[in-house]
Structure 1
């Protein structure tokens, strides 16, 4: 059984090369796998599933992009590749309606994946960055159902403007933060892995792709970080029964085989 994991594509109308690369990846790579897991920040911003109600010609280009993506993932799912979606810090408002349009299953964060008897902890990764106190405060607010209801009560243009404002503020704030503050807190990694009784954690969010060797209670363990996608480069992890996980980077115009 072949399982693929990706994260942090940050799809948006202004990055057509990444969108085209994603469609090529679905056709040439994911279509040959048994399952595809998308571990958050699939979109640069998500303002609500009702974006599907807008005409494709609406000015922002978001509706056209979302509908193309939903159709492509639904085709993949219908052809036999199971599709799973996890929320990220950019697209935490993705709901069941969009997941259904994709033929996908929404995942909790964290989620345990059984890979041929080996439990693998899947996370987006932002909840591990506890040293970034300002972000953690925003994360708590953004996951509050009442706050989400207030946001979704706004018009779509208002939500798009708010999402742009939040991204700009986040970029300004991050430029003044120390690099280690925006990375995971090692103690939180250990805590999460012990709580789920696993020696393998896979996440995204930090945009720092790497394989980290750890020791948990005297046993070898690993934390594998997915990379974010760029106009000329993508990242995935390939899981195959009986084999170790493989972190791969690839040119978007030449996706790897499953």
Structure 2
């Protein structure tokens, strides 16, 4: 096979990767290892990496960046940005307090939720996904409260240890509440999704949050849902979405099985 034949058979270059709901924390060492491996392999072979929320199990403020575990994740992200990979961040419901210091340290750009981007000629809207779970009235009220700038300023003024204790209590309360909720309530609302497609003028949507990885196609519009990560379980969960230079959208699992959609 000559050089020109190799070029024609080569796989199109990956342009962008999307990942969410990794829920990184020291209690998930296998998940942490898998994600760091993803950054060193797939991450270094793309032009852009989009982190669509809940990268961390929780984030209580950028002054926790000195924590050794948090520092190890931040360093891995910084290595990518130094290598020339563009990093983009949309806050999740667990790590919405990631701020300018973390962004500057890692070299990433924070985006609004939702945001409209164009990848390989495809105009798409991206978001975390929690704002579209409008059937969960209790959560929507909580979300409105904690996204309020004054609430955040008050919370961030508390001592670091106190913030961690408060968040730990919130996590336990959330687990208890979710165990009594109908699963359908915690999924996205179809009217909210339709409204997002309409307001954005996009035919493609990528989001996470629901932990229900799938491709939903309706009326010519495609909604891609990212998986959550948990490598402590058997089989392990995790994966990402990749878009190549030809505009092919691929859903990729941790075992590298790829479902390709045009």
Q: Same fold (TM over 0.5)?
A: yes
Q: Is the aligned partner of 1:227 residue 2:197?
A: no
Q: Which residue pairs with 1:57 in the alignment?
A: none
Task: Report deviation, 1:244.
Answer: 2.6
Root-mean-square deviation (CA, aligned residues, Å) is: 1.4
Equivalent residues of 2:120, 2:247 under 8 A apart: no
Give the match for residue 14 of structure 1.
27
Structure 2, unaligned runs of 5 or more: 1-13
Pairing 1:52-63 to 2, within 5 Å after superposition: 52=65, 54=66, 63=67
TM-score when normalising by structure 1: 0.91
In structure 1, the residue matched to 2:217 is 213
- The 3-state SS of whatever aligns with 2:238 is strand
Q: Which of these residues, 92, 111, 116, is aligned with residue 112 of structure 1? A: 116
Q: Distance in 2 between matches of 1:111 and 1:17?
A: 31
In structure 1, the partner of 2:106 is 102
Please state whether the residue corresponding to 2:177 is helix, strand or coil.
helix
Match of 2:186 among 182, 188, 207: 182
Unaligned runs of 5+ in 1: 55-62
- Mapped to 2, the partners of 1:250 and 1:235 lie a distance apart of 5
Do 1:5 and 1:238's aligned partners in 2 also have CA atoms closer than 8 Å? yes
SS at match of 1:233: coil
1:165 alignment partner in structure 2: 169
Out of 173-182 and 226-235, give the one that drifted further: 226-235
Q: Does structure 1 conserve the Cα–Cα contact (< 8 Å) formed by 2:15 and 2:119?
A: no
**Deviation, structure 1 residue 80:** 1.1
8 Å Cα contact 2:17/2:243 also seen in 1: yes
Provide the secondary structure at the position in 1 that maps to 2:253. strand
Return the match for 1:79 from 70, 76, 83: 83
Q: CA deviation at 1:241?
A: 2.7
TM-score (norm 2): 0.89
SS, match of residue 5 in structure 1: strand
Counterpart of 1:143 in structure 2 is 147
| Mapped partners of 1:64, 1:255: distance in 2 | 33
